[in-house]
Amino acid sequence: MNLRLLSDFGLVPIGWMLIGITILVVAGFPLAPTATVGAEVATKTETGESATTEETEAAQEDSQPAVEQGKQADEEPTPEASPAKVKSQTESEEHVLPPGLQKKKPPEGVYVETDHGYMVPYSQMLPGTEVEFEMIPIPGGKFTLGSPETEANRNADEGPQVEVEVPPYWMAKTETTWAEYGEFLRLYNQFKQIETLRSQTQIDPGEKNATMNVLERLPALRDQVASTPSEVDAVTSPTPLYSPDVTYESGNEPDQPAVTMTPYAARQYTKWLSVITEQSYRLPSEVEWEYAARAGSSTAYSHGDKTDNLEDYAWLDSNSDDRSHAVAKKKPNPWGLYDMHGNVAEIVLDEYAQDAYAALKELPEASAEKAIRWPEKQFPRVVRGGSWLDEAPALRSAARFQTDDLEWKVSDPNLPLSPWWYTEIYPAGGVGFRVIRPLEPLTKELQKRAWEIDAEELKAAVEARLEEGRGAFEAIDPKLPEAIEQLDQAEVQKLLN
């Protein structure tokens, strides 16, 4: 696999810009394997308090699935989840399962049983760093999308309600943090160094020079420098922020959620993440997001209909002190997901349409895959969950919001407007995202839909940056983290200084 990465080194008032075209990676979108799950959730908060209140239990519907808790049994300990190595039942050779999947039923803890094995929580490390994030298994099942007409503060675009079937997947325990997104932002300087080394090797074609001699001892970096970037398979990397006070106004601590990126930038991040980890990460669809947010409930919030205890679960305008907060500091929902209500609103895959659910109602059988409204315009896109800037009604599980590039980029001096960053702290300072990983691999067609440029105006904006000469192309594949590590070698830094 050989992919290309492009970075934009023009400076604008809102900061690092991302420019990108395409990644083709074999990754995953869920089909619909059958998941067998248990009847209750016993997820605890960090303080030991049960995340399932009496009100939450009352809100659970009998037909809704829940994450099963393994029980003590006379079984041997299960393999590690990331990666899981297990013996075949028919062969003696060893097989390696993807992270979060194992053959044996866990004796304890959260799991989801599927035809592929048992889905369990796992931690994903960003290669070449000490940064990691946790993924939680979400059981497959059916649920009712949208809100009833009797729900307080309901909006017209939350109906009509429709039953949708959702296959199992893993979802990030928290929103993507600055620690995670920051590794993506750091690529700019690293790519510039690789470009410099490449130019040094081309001074005397056919003859070895000092740079070539050093690279011969560093195979990963040598191969990276020897690659030939191409616009055809480029993606974007960020540039240094020109005006970080705008992007970071709501906070930029490593454990705070990253904000102000556009849906396109978030999708670019998931492409990069998928390539370097060799796993299938993408944004959730609107259906997948609401299904996980409800966690088996049919009430306005995952913990019930009342708002008098909402601050136990969420950061919103009444308790946020005008800023976002570190992730996972409130109680999780019944499936162990934090900040699904509040902190920052979350970008999903879908294009926004007020009558989206009416169209679903016409389908003979609605599934999560068929329900995705794939974008054809740069905006509006759907944003879910509400943020630290919002009042309680905006944090309801069914509440829907839409991006508005014209209003959210008022301070952007670029023409066309930046495809990668929003400039207005309200509401963009409260807009971020979290990732999911489907159980089943994506087809190439679905890869394109989940990751590529999907609107003509977006394509024009990216091409304009290329024509202005702001871009720097760079190849990217799973070996990139190793090549980046080798950039820190003293002999390499000597060549660069």
Residue 70, both tokens: 């393994």
Which pLDDT score is estimated for 472? 54
pLDDT top residue among 87 and 401: 401
Which pLDDT score is estimated for 473? 61
Place of tokens 């024009």: 460
Mean pLDDT for 447-473 is 81
Residue 243 has pLDDT above 80, yes or no: no
Residue 434 has pLDDT above 90, yes or no: yes
* 475 contacts 3 by C-beta, under 8 angstroms: yes
Which pLDDT score is estimated for 234? 58
pLDDT top residue among 484 and 471: 484
Separation in Å, CA 448 to CA 158, 175, 281: 28, 24, 13
* 178 contacts 253 by C-beta, under 8 angstroms: yes
Which pLDDT score is estimated for 63? 42
pLDDT top residue among 176 and 228: 176
* 121 contacts 136 by C-beta, under 8 angstroms: yes
Categorise residue 107: left if φ over 0, alpha if ψ from -120 to 50, beta otherwise. alpha
How far is the C-alpha of 93 from the C-alpha of 194, rounded, in Å?
A: 41
Which pLDDT score is estimated for 235? 65
Ordered DSSP codes for 435-454: -EEESSPPPHHHHHHHHS--
Q: What is the DSSP letter of 377?
A: S
How far is the C-alpha of 6 from the C-alpha of 121, rounded, in Å?
A: 33
pLDDT, mean over the chain = 82
Which pLDDT score is estimated for 33? 40
Separation in Å, CA 127 to CA 133, 277, 402, 478: 12, 7, 34, 9
Using alpha carbons only, how large is the chain's radius of gyration in Å? 23
Residue 379 has pLDDT above 70, yes or no: yes
**Extended strands (E) in 167-267:** 169-172, 234-237
Which pLDDT score is estimated for 205? 63
Of the listed ranges 19-33, 52-66, 364-378, 445-459, the one predicted with least confidence:
19-33
How far is the C-alpha of 56 from the C-alpha of 304, rounded, in Å?
A: 5
Residue 193 has pLDDT above 60, yes or no: yes
Query: Residue 168 — pLDDT band, cuts 50, 70, 90?
Result: very high
Domains of the chain: 27-45+52-73+88-177+243-459+477-481 (3.90.1580.10)
Side-chain half-sphere of 171: how many Cα atoms within 13 Å? 30
Tens of pLDDT along 75-96?
333 333 334 333 333 333 346 8
Of the listed ranges 171-180, 247-256, 431-440, the one predicted with least confidence:
247-256
